[in-house]
A and B are shown apart, each in its own frame.
Chain A
Amino acid sequence: MPADPVAIRVIRFSQYYGAERTLDGLNLEVFRNEILGIIGPARSGKSTFLCALNRLNDLVRGSRVEGRIEIDGRNIYDPDTDVIELRRKLGTVFATPVPLPRSIFENIAFGPRMAGIRDRARLDEIVRDSLEKGGLFEEVKDRLGTSGLKLSGGQQQRLCLARILALKPEFILLDEPTSGLDPISTMKIEDSLRKLKKGYTIILVTNNTKQAARIADRTAFFLNGELVEIGPTADVFTAPMDRRTDDYLRGRFG
């Protein structure tokens, strides 16, 4: 039986922080094994959307939602959702790389350890596998015991990527992952994402429209908490259906 090509269904979803509505009636689908790029100006709800998916929004005071988000057929806002498992399933990489103050090995092993994996041999395997998938293994294989804080910015971000891969997620969410990085590190990460697409569904929030143009299969344009437009990247960039999308892409505002 073929798996449902739609991995995530967002149905009339709104997010409130207290009285402020940060996401407004979103309706969209995320396809399995695609890279979905999300573009839009600051405070358009892009990052909030990611936090809604992995339910990190729960940590914000006064958080309230309406609507549904269905992942693998189940509404993740159901009261009996296993939020811990959800967050393992949706690995998130943030804009600023944050290595924990421990060794590279322990950074990667952090998630699995919390999940209860203690066997050293298994952890070794997980760490190696994750670092390879994240494109960092060759550079650090001889110094897994050194502190993660000693890596360069680009390496730290790839460490963060490897860290979430260690939990064998289904989805990879990235929030402006290369905004502070040099072009070469950016390229390395984009390469990794292209390779990872085969085994994961990737949602990439980016401030850099050119990045979306480079690697996203489809692109969504967010504005003021609303989804303005979504479609195959080429279409959105060359023939946007909404005037606002066109304005943003041409730099008339942003």
Chain B
Amino acid sequence: MNRLEKKDRLIRLALLMIAFSAVSILAVITIFMFEQGTPIMFKYGLKSFLAGSDWYPSEKIFGLWPMIVGSFYVTLGALAIGVPFGLACSVVLTEFSSARLRRIIKPVIELLAGIPSVVYGFMGMVILVPFIRKTFGGPGLSVLAASIILGIMILPTIISISIDAILAIPPSYRAGSIALGATPWQTVRMVILPAARSGIIASIILGMGRAIGETMAVIMVAGNAVGVPGSLLAPVRTLTSNIALEMGYAAGEHRQALFATGVILFIIIMILNTIANVTSSGRKRKTKA
């Protein structure tokens, strides 16, 4: 065998090992998370851990329920803002305006996806929170504030991916609809949106993942009080904030409880990812015909 071919075989082996790096890292992260976080969950009982409504680390009371609800509310709120406005933008930029306008605005929106989350949180802190306090009362640091900031943060994701999904629709779909006398809005409602459905759903799930995983911005505007929020204006603590706020000084079982919080978060995200993968590949198979 040629000397060069022998070298090739070695390189192939080396690359195979490198390629496994991503999988290995994922495996190591998962193993560590679970190794550090699960023991304490079972020590105090899974039910009390997930459903307990009190979190007093110094007295070894670890109940994550308020944080789970907090993450849920805040994500829901973010979607309530991000999805309608995001879809509106996508539709306008693809169907109701010129390609040139889109070529200018889409990069700007994608630029905003790169702005650090702490900057968004900061804007919330200095503008939105005082505004909410003045207009609606309450501390300002609230579910509402967190929802709005997160909603704004996931807009670039939803817009960018939805635009790509809509642009991928064959022009014949539109042409067919217009030829039947439909207005652009009717075309959008009855042809475009259904056709782009899988891409749009993917963008929403991606946005949802971002919202659930966001930490810094939420800490800056949500108030971080432990307790199931009673209203939009009540302060809230999410699973992510819980970890970030106390990591710095937690020790012993307190620290392990935070790892356990990470495990819960990790599981939720994995479930979301799997749903996203299954929906998008399932849809892909359907549209191949």
Contact = CB atoms under 8 A, between A and B. Distances in A.
Query: Do any beta carbons of A and B sit within 8 angstroms of each other in the complex?
Result: yes
A119 interface: no
A49 to B, nearest CB: 24
Contacts of A82: 1-2, 5
Interface string B77-118: 000000000000000000000000000000000000000000
Interface string B1-35: 11011000000000000000000000000000000
Nearest to A84: B2
A170 B118 CA distance: 67
Contact size range, B:
under 10
Interface of A is mostly: helix
Interface string B199-227: 00000000000000000000000000000
Interface residues of A, number: 5
Contacts of A83: 2, 5
A118 B207 CA distance: 54
A142 interface: no
Contacts of A80: 1
Interface in A73-125: 80, 82-85
A85 B1 CA distance: 10
A123 B216 CA distance: 60
A58 B4 CA distance: 17
Contacts of A84: 2, 4-5
Contacts of A85: 2
Nearest to B8: A84
A155 to B, nearest CB: 31
A82 B5 CA distance: 9
Contacts of B1: 80, 82
Interface string A47-86: 0000000000000000000000000000000001011110
Interface of A: 80, 82-85
10 contacts: A80-B1, A82-B1, A82-B2, A82-B5, A83-B2, A83-B5, A84-B2, A84-B4, A84-B5, A85-B2
Interface of B: 1-2, 4-5
